[in-house]
């Protein structure tokens, strides 16, 4: 790995009860070069239980401290993250592969959640409601849910950590974080910065290792009261079933299958830029990435020509190389999925306009690919590709395209381009998605509620709504107070 300015940010042990512990033995490699970056421990179920115990022990002190104190510690963590953004991005690109400029952007995005919830910690409030009897008072308190398990994915090794951990800590919860096995080093570096910020021992714990053994503890342990997960719908359903045994809250951010619709009255140049942004962020590996592009018949050819031109300029290579905009995919299985979607589409009549193959660099690099003549019978219409594949469908009618866009079990993000004001309202209201980008391909910000409907999940992260997941509501009825008048 490139040398870090602050070498102590490269931690290779789990973080439990305020100490880095465990024998490093699971390899973490660079997906671009195959280089061994570090080894981390497999703490197994015993280590996971230790971490839950540490979080449970720390809970009363953390929940009992003032909101102002929690806010100040989060703010210090934010300042340290911003101060180490270059090192954090170096670790991130090394273990994840995304271009360094994009990794810097992710660190800033990750930091923004810490900053936002440092501010929000002080705004948690309850209510006094109109009472049912003259001598009674009804109070509503909002209290931390307790120990939170956060299980985070490899595609955003920093931002998905802070988007769960920061609101949990702001609410007064303590946390056991399980980062993805592919990308634990960014999470451990963030934990080291949290330690330096002064977070008390046990308030944040990071466990590395076998997902099944650790996940089993985190979803069944009586002291965990909420499981937050970002990842596939398939795994989300398993975790939900496991958590049902102790009736935990589950906050799920799962897969998507985002449609991107270009109407005949769209600004085509802007739509192409939006498609590039929403399709090729993180090499097509985000759950809000465009998966299906629907273009009106009358502008189809102009759009495809411009999109293909723009995609030709997307330089593929190592994330640290100058000018690179597309790194490797996460692993061989990811490459095979892209290949399978292309093969199925071509076999059913689609045409490859650009790319279509593994990149000559080898490894898990793949060529940015455009397919035309795509139809709803193809696998890529139903499944999320999670790779650099832009399939273009042709449509004629607004009703027809909305039916097609909604024909999926998931409902995370959708995008459309139009300059017709009446259509903007009609279409945004009819799309069955938790988030809609209108004339933009970039919707992610800490200021907005991120989340889906249907099989894309059941919670919201970010904004003033995101902290609600981590707060229980308690109704208190105070009797015998007497009447106010
Ligand atoms: C994700 O892909 O899980 C998150 C993407 C984002 O926050 O924009």
Give me the pLDDT at residue 370, please. 98
Q: What is the mean pLDDT of the chain?
A: 98
pLDDT at 3 over 90: yes
Ligand 1 atom showing the smallest separation from residue 443 Cα? 8
Catalytic-residue membership of 253: yes
pLDDT of 191 strictly over 80: yes
Alpha-carbon distance values, 41 to 97, 211, 234 (Å): 22, 12, 26
Tokens of 199: 């977070």
Which atom, in ligand 1's list, is nearest to the CA of 282?
2
27 Cβ neighbours under 8 A, 6+ residues apart: 36, 39
Q: What gap in Å lies between CA 376 and CA 464, rounded to an integer? A: 38
Is residue 143 within 8 Å of residue 172, measured between CB atoms?
A: yes
Band of the pLDDT at 349, cuts 50, 70, 90? Answer: very high
pLDDT band at residue 184 under the 50/70/90 scheme: very high
**Helix-, strand-, coil-residue percentages of the chain, each rounded to 5:** 40, 20, 35
Q: Are β-strands 137-144 and 471-478 bridged in parallel, bridged antiparallel, or unpaired?
A: antiparallel
Choose one of 105, 113, 157, 159 to mutate for the ligand 1 pocket test, by most ligand atoms within 8 angstroms of C-beta.
Answer: 159
Alpha-carbon gap, residue 142 to 147, rounded angstroms:
15
Q: What is the pLDDT of residues 63-102, one digit of tens each?
A: 999 999 999 999 999 999 999 999 999 999 999 999 999 9
Structure tokens at 20: 């880095």
67-83 and 184-197 helices, crossing angle to 10°: 130
Q: Is 289 annotated as catalytic?
A: no
Q: What percent of the chain clears pLDDT 90, i.e. is strictly above it? A: 99
The CA 281 to ligand 1 mean position distance, Å, reads: 10
Residue nearest to atom 6 of ligand 1 (CA): 444
Instruction: Using the mean position of ligand 1's atoms as its centre, give its distance from the Cα of residue 369 in Å.
Output: 22
* Cα 436 to averaged position of ligand 1 atoms, centre (Å): 14
Instruction: Tell me which of 253, 367, 455, 469 is the catalytic residue.
Output: 253
Spatial strand order of the sheet with 290-296 comes to 351-354, 369-372, 389-395, 290-296, 258-262, 413-417, 435-438
Contacts of 201 (CB under 8 A, 6+ apart): 17, 18, 19, 54, 58
What is the pLDDT at residue 484?
73
How far, in Å, from the CA of 290 to the mean position of ligand 1? 12
The answer to whether residue 145 scores a pLDDT higher than 80 is yes
Quote the CA–CA distance of 51 and 10 in Å, as a whole number: 21
- In the reported structure, the alpha carbon of residue 446 is separated from the centroid of ligand 1 by a whole-number distance in angstroms of 11
CA gap 250, 148 in Å, rounded:
10
- In ligand 1, the atom with minimum distance to the C-alpha of 109 is 7
How far, in Å, CA of 229 to CA of 150, rounded?
6
- 139 alpha carbon – ligand 1 mean position (Å): 37
pLDDT (mean) for 283-300:
98
What is the number of the ligand 1 atom nearest to the C-alpha of 230? 3
User: What pLDDT shows up at residue 373?
Assistant: 98
Q: Which residues contact 105 (CB under 8 A, 6 or more apart)?
A: none
Mutate to test the pocket of ligand 1, among 116, 288, 384, 443 (most ligand atoms within 8 A of CB): 288
How confident is residue 39, by pLDDT bands cut at 50, 70 and 90?
Answer: very high
| pLDDT at residue number 483 | 81
Mutating to test ligand 1, I would choose from 183, 444, 448 the residue with most ligand atoms within 8 A of its C-beta, which is: 444
pLDDT of 485 above 80: no
Q: Whose CA is nearest to atom 8 of ligand 1?
A: 444
pLDDT at 248: 98
Nearest atom in ligand 1 to 450's CA: 7
Distance from residue 257's CA to the centre of ligand 1 (Å): 13
Mutate to test the pocket of ligand 1, among 116, 286, 437, 448 (most ligand atoms within 8 A of CB): 286
Pocket (CB within 6 angstroms of ligand 1): 155-156, 159-160, 230, 253, 286-288, 444, 450
* Per-residue pLDDT reduced to its tens digit, 238-281: 999 999 999 999 999 999 999 999 999 999 999 999 999 999 99
CA distances to 20, 379, 410 from 383, rounded to whole Å, are 40, 6, 10
What's the pLDDT band for 37 if we cut at 50, 70, 90? Answer: very high
Examine the pLDDT at 396 and tell me if it is beyond 90. Answer: yes
């Amino acid at each position: 790995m490139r040398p870090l300015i602050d070498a102590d940010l490269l931690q290779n042990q789990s973080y439990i009860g305020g100490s880095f512990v465990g024998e490093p033995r699971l390899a973490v490699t660079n997906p671009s070069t195959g280089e061994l970056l570090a080894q981390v421990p497999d703490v197994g179920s015993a280590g996971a239980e230790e971490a839950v115990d540490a979080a449970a022990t720390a809970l009363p002190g953390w929940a009992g401290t003032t909101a102002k104190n929690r806010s100040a510690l989060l703010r210090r963590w934010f300042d340290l993250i911003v101060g180490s953004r270059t090192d954090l991005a170096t670790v991130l690109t090394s273990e994840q592969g995304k271009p360094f400029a994009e990794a810097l952007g992710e660190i800033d995005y990750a930091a923004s959640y810490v900053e936002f919830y440092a501010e929000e910690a002080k705004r948690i409030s309850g209510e006094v409601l109109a009472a049912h009897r003259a001598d009674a008072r009804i109070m509503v308190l909002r209290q931390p849910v307790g120990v939170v398990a956060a299980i985070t994915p490899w595609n955003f090794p920093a931002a998905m950590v802070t988007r769960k951990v920061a609101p949990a800590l702001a609410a007064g919860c303590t946390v056991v974080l399980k980062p993805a096995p592919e990308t634990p080093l960014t999470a451990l570096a963030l934990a080291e910065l949290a330690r330096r910020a002064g977070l008390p021992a046990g308030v944040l714990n990071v466990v590395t290792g076998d997902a099944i053994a650790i996940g089993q503890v985190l979803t069944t342990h009586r002291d965990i009261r909420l499981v937050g997960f970002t990842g596939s719908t398939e795994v989300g359903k398993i975790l939900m079933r496991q958590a049902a045994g102790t009736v935990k809250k589950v906050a799920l951010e799962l897969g998507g299958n985002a449609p991107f619709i270009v109407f005949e009255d769209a600004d085509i140049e802007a739509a192409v830029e939006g498609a590039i942004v929403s399709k090729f962020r993180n090499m097509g590996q985000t759950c809000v990435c465009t998966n299906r592009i629907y273009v009106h018949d009358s502008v189809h050819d102009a759009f495809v020509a411009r999109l293909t031109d723009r995609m030709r300029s997307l330089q593929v290579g190592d994330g640290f190389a100058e000018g690179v905009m597309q790194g490797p995919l996460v692993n061989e299985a990811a490459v095979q999925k892209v290949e399978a979607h292309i093969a199925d589409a071509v076999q059913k009549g689609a045409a490859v306009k650009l790319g279509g193959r593994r990149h000559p660099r080898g490894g898990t690099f793949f060529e940015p690919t455009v397919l035309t003549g795509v139809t709803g019978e193809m696998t890529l219409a139903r499944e999320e590709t999670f790779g650099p594949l832009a399939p273009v469908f042709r449509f004629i009618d607004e009703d027809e395209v909305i039916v097609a866009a909604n024909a999926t079990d998931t409902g995370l993000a959708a995008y459309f381009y139009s300059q017709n004001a009446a259509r903007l309202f009609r279409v945004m209201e009819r799309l069955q998605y938790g988030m809609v980008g209108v004339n933009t391909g970039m919707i992610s910000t800490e200021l907005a509620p991120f989340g889906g409907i249907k099989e894309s999940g059941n919670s919201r992260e970010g904004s003033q709504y995101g902290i609600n997941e981590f707060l229980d509501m308690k109704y208190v009825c105070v009797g015998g107070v007497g009447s106010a008048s």
